[in-house]
Copies of this chain bind each other. A is one copy, B any other.
Amino acid sequence: MSGTAGAEDGGTTPGPRRRGRPRRSPEDAGPGARERILQAARDEFAERGYDKTSMRGIAKAAGVDAALVHHYFGTKDDVFAAAIEISFEPALVVPAVLGQGGTDGIGERLARYIIGVWENPATRAPLLAIVRSALTNETAAKVLRTFVLRRLLERVAAELDVPDPTFRAELAASHMVGIAILRYVVKTEPLASADPERIVAMVAPTLQRYLTEA
């Protein structure tokens, strides 16, 4: 673990505390180093995309040595998977949203919740960044595919009482992904400026049908 000496001061983004004594081991990187790396990874992937993001760049942004990033997360794909994990945190609540209150109004509840996540720039930006990475890199697409399937679609499917529940969940998800792309990325009007509730009103019956009607 050579090269970690003074790493925290060597980065462009200084850590929360600066000390004169050089760092010598992962444990010395200070509390919150793992969390800081994770945030830096999310930001780097979001800003540069999968291809242009490097372990070294993430380390620099987090104010730690690259070896520490490897120590905590392994390969670049592992860091990307961890970045997906925190970017999708709001989406991981979806199975719980579906599980509450039965199937009545499930489409409307889901549409409103997802539009809410998209409407908040803080939760929208990292999600769009992940989609962007997946669209431009096959490895990133693969990591995303596994995550979305295991952590999201299959859990939503477990809450549904329809034939082919995963297929139904995917159709619902595809609609919400497409709306996000047209509304927030391509920004075609009037969808880009439409009141969120107007979108919810139109989309809710679609999701309701996919998720509940045999």
Interface SS of chain A: helix, strand, loop or mixed?
A: helix
Per-residue 0/1 for A190-203: is the Cβ within 8 Å of any B Cβ (1 yes, 0 no)?
11001000110011
Q: How far is the CB of A62 from chain B (nearest CB, A)?
A: 24
- Interface residue range, chain A: 35 or more
The answer to whether B202 and A171 have CB atoms under 8 Å apart is yes
Nearest CB on B from A108, distance (A) = 15
Q: How near does chain B come to A150, taking the closest CB pair, in angstroms?
A: 10
Which residues of B sit under 8 angstroms from A205, Cβ to Cβ? 209
A182 vs chain B, min Cβ distance (A): 5
Whether A113 sits at the interface, judged by CB under 8 Å, is: no
Q: How many copies does the complex hold?
A: 2
Q: Is the CB–CB distance between B178 and A141 below 8 Å?
A: no
Complex: A115 Cα to B121 Cα, angstroms: 32
Distance (whole angstroms) from the CB of A125 to the closest CB of chain B: 13
Smallest distance from the beta carbon of A33 to chain B beta carbons, Å?
31
Can you offer 13 A-B residue contacts whose CB atoms are under 8 A?
A: A128-B135, A132-B135, A135-B181, A136-B136, A167-B198, A170-B188, A170-B191, A171-B203, A174-B175, A177-B178, A177-B181, A178-B178, A205-B209
Q: Which residues of A contact B (CB under 8 A)?
A: 49, 128, 131-132, 134-136, 141, 144-145, 148-149, 153, 164, 166-168, 170-171, 173-179, 181-183, 185-191, 194, 198-199, 202-203, 205-206, 209-210
